[in-house]
């Protein structure tokens, strides 16, 4: 609802204007009235007005003089002029001042409503423009903040942009924190990337409730989807207000999204130049750890970003696990997985690499029972896992998928299909085609392809690629051979084509696979 001020030295005119139309229906309300320009200016000191409807000829101050004064104070206010007679000079000067219309008394209702509708359109257009400007400003600020946090922006460019975007550079202490939102608890929360800027904006609003005088707080999403929090302070206030701010943000996010939220806080740095280092501490901690099942605060440091090395072995008892798989004891398999990871979790926040190594070992042990293992469900999801519980669920899902098929009735293949399977197993390094094999088997290529699809449940080309990727996976995990050597050894002479096929069937690139599984 927008505010209207009526100004006229004739009380009957003022009263009549209040009832001439349904102001509420036009999304307007009469906020106040005045009998002359001086009184109107006095009331405008404490009143936000969107529209002034004023007479021209009034004692002490004319309507045109009033308009000039108001425009200085409130450039966006709109005006409608009223007059008891038509005077060209007044009309001309009103146009110069940018009034919306010049209405003769008695006021024509249709003309007044038409003028108001025109103004409504202008207001709506201005609101959209302001929203777009605000959105553009926020997008620009987020981009600059991300580059600052990653130390990928030139110092001179950053100083210029920081001044424009109101980023503080003269405080005595700068500290970064990250809020990681993890939706792995079965509530089905959708988390599109565009939602993160909205969360960051609300977090900043909540955080400002705890900011002492002389301090500032800024929140923005980074490229991994974490909410980065910048604390800039004079260094005399302590850190309690920062923890209170983070607590308020965590509570709001959890309530709004239904997800779990973890907070990692870096060490304070003595100038804005140190903020990227504080960010790096936080991101390294998240990169090197799996989060537990309870929300908490963590304080990261240069020494604490990497998990402490322990002498304990992370290797699961694979002989026992293989036997459970062969026996098909699903409940005991689940218990084995839970017990192994729960024992490791007793040491606190778990190091990501040994956890992933053990998980990959367990999943590959199951996949090796399959005739044509598909690794897409093994490695692809690993990059999206942040919690120990999420890792356990992935391992169980992969293992159960294998058990469901492995212990089903063994399928008998026809001699022709069995010959094709054996040929792929023995000669997968070479160039293979149905045309070549069909000649060896004295069959038409189309018939052999249909027979293979029917019995194996996949096309010949897919089977060959899956088998080659299976062999490549073992070489990547358990040898030091270069990726190009691995590609050649499994039958891919074009390394770029090997990369594409590997990503298609395994869900990750060869490089990403090796980074997930760090050999001891």
> Residues 305-345: pLDDT tens digits?
555 444 455 678 888 888 888 777 788 989 999 888 887 66
Distances (CA, A) of 330 to 337, 407, 408, 428: 11, 11, 14, 33
Is residue 249, in this structure, part of any structural domain at all?
yes
Q: Which residue has the tokens 């309530």?
A: 255
Whether residue 289 sits in one domain with residue 179: yes
- Whole-angstrom Cα distance, residue 217 to residue 204? 7
Q: What is the β-pairing status of strands 260-265 and 297-299?
A: parallel
Interacting residues of 253 by C-beta distance below 8 A, sequence separation 6+: 179, 181, 199, 203, 227, 259, 261
Is residue 145, in this structure, part of any structural domain at all?
no
Whether residue 186 sits in one domain with residue 284: yes
Query: Which of 350, 376, 404 corresponds to the end of one domain?
Result: 404
Type and span of the H or E element at 350? strand 350-351
CB 3 within 8 A of CB 78: no
CB 252 within 8 A of CB 203: yes
Query: Which of 107, 125, 149 corresponds to the end of one domain?
Result: 107
Whether residue 361 sits in one domain with residue 287: no
Distances (CA, A) of 414 to 146, 392, 448, 464: 60, 39, 11, 18
| 50: CATH | 3.40.50.2300
Whether residue 287 sits in one domain with residue 217: yes
Q: Which residue has the tokens 């989060």?
A: 291
Whether residue 178 sits in one domain with residue 82: no
- Whole-angstrom Cα distance, residue 388 to residue 366? 20
Whether residue 196 sits in one domain with residue 293: yes
- At 30 the pLDDT is 94
Whether residue 278 sits in one domain with residue 195: yes
- Whole-angstrom Cα distance, residue 492 to residue 485? 10
Whether a cis peptide bond, with omega within 30° of 0, leads into 254 is no
Whether residue 379 sits in one domain with residue 429: no
- Whole-angstrom Cα distance, residue 379 to residue 463? 19
- At 348 the pLDDT is 56
- At 440 the pLDDT is 85
Is residue 248, in this structure, part of any structural domain at all?
yes
Is residue 208, in this structure, part of any structural domain at all?
yes
- At 280 the pLDDT is 93
- At 78 the pLDDT is 93
User: What does DSSP assign to residue 14?
Assistant: H
> Domain span at residue 53?
2-107
Partners of 64 in the β-ladder = none
- Whole-angstrom Cα distance, residue 493 to residue 519? 26
Which candidate, 344, 352, 271, places its Cα nearest to that of 305?
352
- At 186 the pLDDT is 43
Query: Which of 344, 373, 404 corresponds to the end of one domain?
Result: 404
Is residue 129, in this structure, part of any structural domain at all?
no
- At 310 the pLDDT is 46
Whether residue 333 sits in one domain with residue 266: no
- Whole-angstrom Cα distance, residue 55 to residue 51? 13
Instruction: Give the CA dihedral 315, 316, 318, 320, nearest 10 degrees.
Output: 150
CB 63 within 8 A of CB 54: yes
Q: What is the mean pLDDT of each run of 10 residues along the chain (520 residues)?
A: 92 91 92 93 90 90 90 90 75 76 87 91 82 78 92 90 89 93 56 72 92 93 92 86 92 86 90 92 89 70 51 71 81 89 69 86 84 76 82 90 66 80 87 88 88 86 89 85 92 91 87 70
- The b-or-e profile of 25-49 (16+ CB within 10 A means b, else e) is ebebebbbbbbbbebbbeebeeeeb
- Whole-angstrom Cα distance, residue 115 to residue 315? 79
- DSSP class per residue in 308-340: PP-SS-----HHHHHHHHHHT-HHHHHHHHHHH
Overall domain count for the chain? 4
| 277: CATH | 3.30.70.1230
Interacting residues of 311 by C-beta distance below 8 A, sequence separation 6+: none
Distances (CA, A) of 169 to 33, 68, 242, 268, 377: 47, 40, 18, 14, 46
Type and span of the H or E element at 175? strand 173-182
Is residue 128, in this structure, part of any structural domain at all?
no
Token pair listed for 311 = 């002498």
Token pair listed for 466 = 């899956």
| 462: CATH | 1.10.10.60
Is residue 216, in this structure, part of any structural domain at all?
yes
Whether residue 431 sits in one domain with residue 355: no
Whether residue 14 sits in one domain with residue 64: yes
- Whole-angstrom Cα distance, residue 324 to residue 330? 8
Whether residue 506 sits in one domain with residue 432: yes
Is residue 333, in this structure, part of any structural domain at all?
yes
Please provide the distance, in angstroms rounded to a whole number, between the alpha carbons at the two ends of the chain.
68
- At 79 the pLDDT is 93
Token pair listed for 346 = 């007793």
């Amino acid at each position: 609802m927008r505010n209207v001020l009526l100004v006229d030295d004739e009380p009957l005119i003022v009263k009549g204007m209040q009832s001439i139309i349904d102001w509420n229906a036009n999304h307007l309300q009469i906020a106040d009235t005045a009998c002359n320009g001086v009184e109107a200016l006095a009331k405008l000191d404490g009143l936000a007005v969107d529209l002034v409807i004023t007479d021209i000829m009034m004692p002490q101050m004319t309507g045109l003089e009033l308009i000039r004064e108001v425009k200085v104070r409130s450039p966006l206010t709109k005006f409608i002029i009223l007059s008891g007679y038509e005077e060209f000079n007044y009309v001309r000067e009103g146009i110069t001042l940018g009034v919306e219309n010049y209405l003769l008394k008695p006021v024509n209702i249709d003309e007044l409503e038409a003028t108001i509708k025109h103004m409504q359109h202008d207001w709506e257009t201005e609101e959209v423009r302001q929203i777009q400007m605000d959105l553009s400003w926020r997008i620009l600020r987020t981009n600059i903040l991300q580059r600052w946090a990653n130390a990928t922006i030139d110092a001179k460019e950053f100083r210029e942009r920081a001044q424009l975007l109101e980023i503080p550079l003269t405080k005595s202490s700068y500290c970064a924190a990250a809020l990681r939102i993890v939706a792995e608890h079965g509530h089905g929360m959708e988390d599109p990337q565009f939602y993160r800027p909205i969360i960051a904006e609300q977090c900043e609003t909540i955080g400002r409730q705890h900011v002492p005088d002389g301090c500032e707080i800024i929140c923005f999403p980074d490229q991994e989807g974490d909410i980065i929090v910048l604390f800039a302070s004079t260094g005399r206030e302590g850190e309690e207000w920062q923890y209170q701010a983070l607590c308020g943000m965590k509570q709001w996010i959890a309530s709004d999204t239904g997800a779990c939220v973890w907070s990692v806080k870096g060490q304070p740095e003595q100038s804005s130049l140190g903020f990227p280092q504080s960010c790096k501490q936080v991101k390294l901690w998240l990169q090197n750890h799996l989060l537990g099942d309870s929300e908490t605060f963590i304080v990261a440091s240069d020494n604490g970003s990497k998990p402490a090395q322990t002498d304990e072995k992370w290797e699961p008892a694979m002989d026992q696990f293989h036997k459970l798989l062969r026996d098909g004891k699903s409940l005991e398999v689940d218990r084995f997985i839970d017990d192994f990871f729960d024992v490791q979790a007793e040491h606190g926040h778990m190091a990501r690499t040994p956890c992933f190594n053990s998980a990959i070992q367990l999943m590959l042990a199951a996949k090796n029972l399959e005739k044509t293992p598909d690794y897409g469900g093994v490695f692809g999801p690993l990059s999206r896992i942040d919690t120990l519980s999420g890792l356990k669920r992935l391992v169980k899902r992969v293992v159960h998928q294998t058990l469901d098929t492995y212990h089903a009735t063994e399928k008998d293949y026809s001699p022709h299909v069995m010959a094709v399977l054996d040929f792929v197993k023995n000669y997968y390094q070479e160039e293979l085609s149905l045309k070549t094999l069909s000649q060896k088997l004295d069959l038409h290529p189309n018939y052999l392809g249909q027979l293979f699809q029917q019995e194996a449940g996949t096309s010949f080309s897919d089977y060959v690629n899956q088998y080659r990727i299976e062999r490549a996976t073992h070489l990547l995990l358990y040898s030091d051979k270069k990726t190009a050597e691995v590609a050649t050894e499994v039958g891919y002479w074009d390394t770029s084509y090997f990369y594409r096929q590997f990503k298609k069937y395994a869900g990750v690139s060869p490089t990403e696979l090796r980074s997930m599984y760090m050999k001891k």
